[in-house]
Amino acid sequence: MNISLQFLLLAAMATTTRFAHCFSAPAATSATVNKQNTLSDQQIMDLAKEYVVGKNGFYAPIDPEAHSEDFVFRGGVIGPLNKADYCTTMTKLGVFNAFDLNPNSFGFCVDPELKNACRFYVRYTGKQVQPWRVAGTPYDIPISDKPVAGPTESF
């Protein structure tokens, strides 16, 4: 593991536990469990694919419009983060500025119990293309020529 990836993981733990694309599903309630989806399974999976690649703040700038007003990020250690805090965190981390990453997402399926929810995996790979500067910190990680490979993560 190169120094940039080590710092990436440490910075992520300081702000979230799994970066933007690792949000947890909302708590199951009578409004979300065993309710009919309002979109087709294909539409739900297509929206999830679009979100993971270009709207969550990890692979591209955060798209606040892609997050509902009641969005909550729940990590294993950090959180909950509301929409505003999540968007600020992902912007400050600036992963998309310093790294050219591909999520290599796979295994998309619609959750049969949770309304309009999609489950999938990512195993990102790529390279660092700019020094990584986390806003509000003294860290300025120089470019490394080593490839970046993340763990398999489930969402």
The closest alpha carbon to 34, from 112, 109, 108, belongs to 112
The pTM for the full model equals 0.73
Chain segment 76-133, per-residue pLDDT in tens:
787 899 999 999 999 999 999 999 999 999 999 999 999 899 999 999 999 999 999 9
Residue 75 has pLDDT above 90, yes or no: no
Q: Is the pLDDT of residue 2 over 90?
A: no
16 pLDDT exceeds 60?
A: no
Which distant-in-sequence residues (6+ apart) come within 8 Å of 42 by Cβ? none
Residue 3 pLDDT level (bands cut at 50, 70, 90): very low
Do 16 and 89 meet the contact criterion of CB atoms below 8 Å apart? yes
Span 39-66, pLDDT tens digits:
999 999 999 999 999 999 999 999 999 9
What are the tens digits of pLDDT across the range 134-148?
A: 988 888 899 999 999
Query: How far is Cα 118 from Cα 45, in angstroms, rounded to an integer?
Result: 6
**Rounded Cα–Cα distance for residues 35 and 37 (Å):** 6
